[in-house]
Structure 1
Amino acid sequence: MEKQAGSTASRDKNRVEKSQLEFFKLFLTEVRMQLPDEPLSAKDMSQQMMTMEQTNQTMQTNHNLEKLIELQSSSYLNNALSLIGKEVEIDGNGRFALEKQTGSFSYIIDDNKKFEEITITITDQANKVIQTIKGDAKAGQHNFTWDGKDSKDVAYPDGIYKVLVEATEKIEGAKKEMKKSPLPTRIFDVVVGVNRDPDISLQLSHNNHVPLKNITKIK
């Protein structure tokens, strides 16, 4: 996106420069062709000079914009490159990786929330339930590590698994009801590269690509 904006500014600059050259040609022609008894008035000349000045300002503005975009793009890329080899925390979108019988993710409970219980359900890509576990219902960020086994102690292979963290809260009213709602999860992964096509994104060790803005924490 940064490249497209920079190219647009360059094209605008070229168009303005071409228009400015044509303006000068027309202006000089008008001066040469004016009749001795009907010279170009001071007002007309002033308007023509004002138009020329506005053209110059437009060209300079486009040039400055192009330079600013180049600087922003360079800074953005440098920030992304500095993360290579580092472990980062990102929005998990309900998925996490199991590697060498270890899979980690986290969930956050706001300070103003009070839940009765937290239920963590881990499934495979076919939505088959593997494990259901009770989580911590206290406020704060809770990190959870799964050993890759189900309730019968059967180990599962490395890969990408799904997780659903549900919070149960009591609804006050005439009838006291229990309401379940999902909580967002975050995962940890290592940055192994940077992708620049078309926008800058981070390549993670498990072949995921995420925008730089999605990073919530650097470990």
Structure 2
Amino acid sequence: MDTAAAQTPPPVNGVTYKDTNGAGSLTGGQSINDTFDMFLKLLTTQLKNQDPLEPTDNTEFVNQLTQFTQTEAGLNTNKKLDSLIALQSNTQLTSALDYVGKEVKADSIVLSLGDSGADAIYGLTANSAKTEIKILDSNGKTIRTLQGQTTAGQHKVHWDGKDDNGNEMKKGVYAFSVVAKDSKDKVVQTAQGIQGTVTGVQMSNGNVILNIGEIEAPLNSVQAVVQKQSTTGASS
């Protein structure tokens, strides 16, 4: 489909709409006052080209002017909606700042390997006979297989950053997959995620994103905010 043709208004009484510099384009959001001269020229041209034996009814010109005004009103409404959306996004971003410095649990299939390794959280909907957590590199290759808990509920597993051969892996982002099966070798439904401290927030395509280490997690993926353990000992 021709985009330019789709944006150009259809001819009125045989008069084609022309806009050489965009100044009179309604799609450009110009005021009716700025384009009224263009509209008057259009009416004048129609009067010159109409059939004297079948002149255009005056009400038709009134209808055209009404449509012209309604078009401008619609464009102004769109501008106001855009402003409201932008305001809403800014409000969401401001609210998300409260997460900075807090520890959260979020749905995720990736984890960030740091100096102290990486922690992954997962949940089992039922008891399993065997649970494996597979760590995958950027090529999708399994580099480490960890044994997980078999009881229903939420669990955490720590990866020390080494592969199955004991080699230290580079710091960065890795994927992980939780596979659980029961005694009849049937797959047990699982959920997986990460737990970490939020270091920043940002907007991406209209969505609020939390930075958890090197991982970017949508705000709606957060399942819980975890209170950090106090390192201060109780006084006697």
Following TM superposition, by how much is the alpha carbon of 1:78 offset from its aligned partner in structure 2, in angstroms? 2.6
Following TM superposition, by how much is the alpha carbon of 1:166 offset from its aligned partner in structure 2, in angstroms? 1.0
For residue 179 of structure 1, give the secondary structure of its aligned residue in structure 2: coil
Work out the number of aligned pairs and report it: 190
Q: CA RMSD in A?
A: 4.2
Structure 2 CA distance, aligned partners of 1:33 and 1:147? 81
1:25 aligns with 2:32: no
Following TM superposition, by how much is the alpha carbon of 1:136 offset from its aligned partner in structure 2, in angstroms? 4.0
For the 8 Å contact 1:102–1:145, the answer to whether it is kept is: no
The equivalent residue for 1:146 is 158
**Cα offsets for 1:19-53 (capped at 9, x unmatched):** 6542233336777999xx99x77xx1112111211
For residue 97 of structure 1, give the secondary structure of its aligned residue in structure 2: strand
Change (3 A) 1:30 1:205: closer
Q: What residue ranges of structure 2 are gaps of 5+ in the alignment?
A: 1-24, 226-236
The equivalent residue for 2:231 is none
Following TM superposition, by how much is the alpha carbon of 1:102 offset from its aligned partner in structure 2, in angstroms? 5.3
For residue 146 of structure 1, give the secondary structure of its aligned residue in structure 2: strand
Change (3 A) 1:132 1:208: closer
Structure 1 CA distance, aligned partners of 2:68 and 2:188? 58
Change (3 A) 1:123 1:109: closer
Structure 2 CA distance, aligned partners of 1:132 and 1:181? 17
The equivalent residue for 1:104 is 119
Normalised TM-score (structure 1): 0.63
Structure 1 CA distance, aligned partners of 2:115 and 2:74? 55
Amino acid at match of 1:194: Q
The equivalent residue for 1:56 is 69
Change (3 A) 1:109 1:70: farther
Following TM superposition, by how much is the alpha carbon of 1:60 offset from its aligned partner in structure 2, in angstroms? 0.9
Q: Which has the higher helix share?
A: 1
Amino acid at match of 2:222: T
Structure 1 CA distance, aligned partners of 2:44 and 2:175? 73
Q: What residue ranges of structure 1 are gaps of 5+ in the alignment?
A: 1-9, 171-176
Structure 1 CA distance, aligned partners of 2:95 and 2:155? 25
For the 8 Å contact 2:29–2:75, the answer to whether it is kept is: no
For the 8 Å contact 1:20–1:55, the answer to whether it is kept is: no
1:168 aligns with 2:174: no
Amino acid at match of 1:207: E
Structure 2 CA distance, aligned partners of 1:124 and 1:29? 70
For the 8 Å contact 1:201–1:212, the answer to whether it is kept is: yes
**Cα offsets for 1:95-125 (capped at 9, x unmatched):** 2124453533323445xxx453351324363
Amino acid at match of 1:180: V
Structure 2 CA distance, aligned partners of 1:101 and 1:122? 19
Change (3 A) 1:136 1:208: same
The equivalent residue for 1:3 is none
Structure 2 CA distance, aligned partners of 1:168 and 1:54? 65
Following TM superposition, by how much is the alpha carbon of 1:58 offset from its aligned partner in structure 2, in angstroms? 1.6
Structure 1 CA distance, aligned partners of 2:74 and 2:178? 51
For the 8 Å contact 1:123–1:163, the answer to whether it is kept is: yes
Normalised TM-score (structure 2): 0.59
1:90 aligns with 2:106: yes
